[in-house]
Amino acid sequence: MKAAVYTGSQLEIEDVPEPTPKEGEVLIKVASTGICHSDLHLLSGELVGPIPKGFIIGHEISGWVEEFGKNVKNPYGLHEGDPVLVSWIVPCGVCKYCANGKENYCKENANRLVGIIGVDGGHAEYMTVPEIAVIPLARNLDPYYSSPIACAYGTAYNALKSVNATSGKSVVIIGSGGVGSAAIQLANAMGLNPIIAVDIDENKLKKARDLGATHAVNANENDARSKILEILQDGADIVYETKPYPDLKLSLEVVKAGGSIVVTGLGGFATMAQIPITLFVSKGISIVGSLGYRPRIDLPELVSLASSGKIDIRKLVSHVYPPEKINEAYENLKKGVHIRAIVKWN
């Protein structure tokens, strides 16, 4: 089969053996994989250290069930050929974190994050994963355009829920890339208002308005703090910082007293943020870190939102690449060309 294999410096398209599902695993025929900024952190070595040669990355995945391994319990009643999402988070399903609805913090994840560590990812025609990572996809959704549900939408959805984002609350979303743009759609679907998008790219801000942002602030052309406080004099109920190297500076300036800041952007373990303690304490600000999503909770809910038309997953995808142009896709990601790009594999 064809796969994008890490060679020590870049990804190369190679012919590699098709994997065979082991006990409790499912073989997936990959439809598409997303080009996510977390992969840049991964490839640079700042996320989990050096990647072993021969590893296959790609953690935002959709496809079809190709084959079941032995003793698969198949709780969703899936059949070969059914469309599915693949979660990059692979919880054990039985520990105290999983039992309490926090399966994204299951300790098993440290050793088996699909396409990140321990389990080959989806930048390939076929892949195998533990069955707990396989989530059904509604048949009225196009599998090729559904892969962003398994990272961009999932990350944004869990982040917003973690700060109790409910109808009528105001939100500032910093960064209008894949996760930020997904967050705009979700905030709109959840009834938040106003929804203020902040970025430095006017094209992304134009897209943000199309996705449901009520206001768009170009931080290169304006004093973002002043512009936001013109709209929300007391500040925002929620500030969601999605940018890759979060610093919290603007977030702390525009969140209201008693409000919440949620952060999902990764910057590697060396990335630090300074917090003015007196401001933090006197305003009663909550700062929440949010890792990914709960695969068995959040992904089915997102599939339902997309299937019912409350979010339009096709709108998020701005670029589609063939496997042979995967390195070009990552270079364009570095340049800020995409909202969300996907690679089609089958």
* Res. 83 pLDDT band, cuts 50 70 90: very high
pLDDT higher at 274 or 266: 274
Q: What is the pLDDT of residue 273?
A: 87
* Res. 265 pLDDT band, cuts 50 70 90: confident
The pLDDT tens digits for 217-232 are 999 988 999 999 999 9
- Of 151, 154, 127, 5, the closest CA to residue 63 belongs to 127
Q: What is the pLDDT of residue 219?
A: 94
What is residue 121's DSSP assignment? Answer: -
Strands 113-114 and 118-119: parallel
- Of 330, 323, 294, 325, the closest CA to residue 38 belongs to 330
Q: What is the pLDDT of residue 87?
A: 98
Contacts of 203 (CB under 8 A, 6+ apart): none
What mean pLDDT comes out for the span 234-238?
98
156-289 CATH pick, 3.20.20.80, 3.40.630.10, 1.10.10.10, 3.40.50.720: 3.40.50.720
CA quadruple 212, 33, 326, 55: dihedral positive or negative? positive
Q: What is the pLDDT of residue 155?
A: 98
- pLDDT at 281 exceeding the cut of 80: yes
- pLDDT at 111 exceeding the cut of 90: no
CA 227 – CA 198 distance, rounded (Å): 10
- pLDDT at 267 exceeding the cut of 80: no
Domains 2-151+293-344 and 156-289 agree in fold:
no
- pLDDT at 49 exceeding the cut of 90: no
Domain borders along the chain are: 2-151+293-344, 156-289
Angle subtended by helix axes 178-189 and 152-162, to nearest 10: 50
User: 326 vs 228, 242, 343, CA distance in Å?
Assistant: 37, 24, 7
Residue holding tokens 């943020």?
Answer: 273
Please provide the average confidence, as pLDDT, over all residues in the chain.
95
Q: What is the pLDDT of residue 109?
A: 87
Q: Which amino acid is at 215?
A: H
Within 13 Å of residue 16, how many CA atoms lie on the same side as its CB? 19
- The superfamily CATH assigns to domain 2-151+293-344 is Medium-chain alcohol dehydrogenases, catalytic domain (3.90.180.10)
CA 243 – CA 178 distance, rounded (Å): 10
CA 180 – CA 340 distance, rounded (Å): 10
The pLDDT tens digits for 292-333 are 999 999 999 999 999 999 999 999 999 999 999 999 999 999
- Give me the residues paired with residue 236 across strands: 255
- Of 22, 203, 43, the closest CA to residue 129 belongs to 22
CA 266 – CA 244 distance, rounded (Å): 5
Judge whether 173 and 183 are in contact, CB under 8 Å.
yes
User: Measured between alpha carbons, how far apart are the two ends of the chain, in Å?
Assistant: 11
Judge whether 113 and 90 are in contact, CB under 8 Å.
yes
By percentage, how much of the chain surpasses pLDDT 90?
90
- Of 140, 138, 183, 179, the closest CA to residue 163 belongs to 183
